[in-house]
Each structure stands twice: as structure tokens, then as C-alpha cells.
Homo-oligomer: A and B are copies of this chain.
Amino acid sequence: MTGFRVEASRTLTDAAFLSLEERHVVSSDGDAFYRVVVRHPGAVAVVPIDDDGFAVLIRQYRAAVDAVMLEIPAGKRDVPHESPEETAARELIEEIALAPGRITSLATFYNSPGFCDELTHLFLADELRAVDRPDGLRHEEAAMTVERVQLDEARGLIASGEIVDAKTIVGLLLAGRRLTGDD
């Protein structure tokens, strides 16, 4: 295959944690063109499994789609020097007030590599113990609610459109395979 590489990049806009960038791409054939991309700091997402084998999900408002969605706990990688596992554990405490005894990797993926460099580290967490939620949570995080679902319900929730979040779909499908020993 023809090789391509980014030869130069120019920031169009920085806003909140996002950056819109124009990239000049050149190929080994001498082909040259521009692409607009979104730079993102990366994310973690976690499937927390309680002692009864249920996945602990959250229902929260998402301004980007102006709707409430059912998702696994997740967050941006916006704390310097924090490993993905540390961010995952912190998000569980903040979002569902459960600290994980064990965290293992399920997958790592780009959410939408056609235009964005967001890389999500996806984990399974168990041996959960109840902790206090930290003070100071605001807006969507303060209003989110927790729901438990059985992993074998997941396909039905995806088929019915109750779960429409990519990381949650990947997480529940892979966690189901991991826990039933298909992996």
C-alpha cells in the first residue's frame, strides 16, 4: 500500500479539552492533501462487575446529543501522570462510589479514527467495595444515577436501542465473553 504521513499540522481552534487541527498529508507517491481532525486527550472506560455478577452502569445527560444515556463509567485522561488504570479507579469512585479491588484490560480502541485521535482504554473491574463519593461533583456528574444490568441482558439492550454508546457496547460484549470463559 502507498505510504502516507502527516508532514505538518496547524491548529484551527482550541476549545475546552478539544483541538481542531488541519493536517497536511503526503504520500510516498507524491500525492498531497489536507485533512481536518479533532485532537482529544484520550479516555478510560470501565465495566464494573459486582459480587452478584451484575454490571454497574450510569444514566447521565450528554450535552453533545442533548439526551440521557445509559453507559459504563468513563472519563477523559485529563490528570497529568495518571495511568489509565488509576484514572479508571478514580472514575469508579466518583461516578458509582465503588472502589475496585482488581482492574484488568479488556481492549484499547479508537472511538472514531476517521476524524479523531481519541484512544479509549477499556477495563473490567471487580472486587468492588463501597466508598464515599468525593465532594465537589457538579452538573451532569452530580445528577447521574446508577443502574445494574445482567451481562446476558446486554444484547437485548443493544438491540432495543436502550444502549447506544459504543464503549458500553464493546465493554458489555467483551465482559460477557470474559466472564463466561469464552475468552
Instruction: Count identical subunits in the complex.
Output: 2
Q: Say yes or no: A143 contacts B1, CB within 8 Å.
A: yes
Interface-located stretch among A47-55, A92-100, A158-166: A158-166
Q: Say yes or no: A1 contacts B38, CB within 8 Å.
A: no
Interface residues of A in 12-48 (CB under 8 A from B): 12-13, 15-18, 20, 22-23, 25, 27, 31, 33, 35-38, 40, 43
| Nearest chain B residue, comparing its CB with the CB of A31 | B139
Answer yes or no: A133 CB below 8 A from chain B CBs.
no
Answer yes or no: A2 CB below 8 A from chain B CBs.
yes
| Nearest chain B residue, comparing its CB with the CB of A35 | B63
Answer yes or no: A116 CB below 8 A from chain B CBs.
yes
Q: Which residues of the partner chain B approach A5 to less than 8 Å between Cβ atoms?
A: 66
Q: Say yes or no: B25 contacts A169, CB within 8 Å.
A: no
Answer yes or no: A128 CB below 8 A from chain B CBs.
no
Q: Say yes or no: A107 contacts B38, CB within 8 Å.
A: no
Q: Which residues of the partner chain B approach A181 to less than 8 Å between Cβ atoms?
A: none
With A62-B114, A64-B115, A112-B166 already in contact, 10 other A-B pairs whose C-beta atoms are closer than 8 Å: A6-B63, A12-B15, A25-B63, A27-B139, A109-B165, A109-B166, A159-B183, A166-B166, A166-B167, A169-B170
Question: What 5 pairs between A and B have smallest CB-CB spacing?
Answer: A35-B63, A16-B36, A2-B143, A37-B64, A111-B112
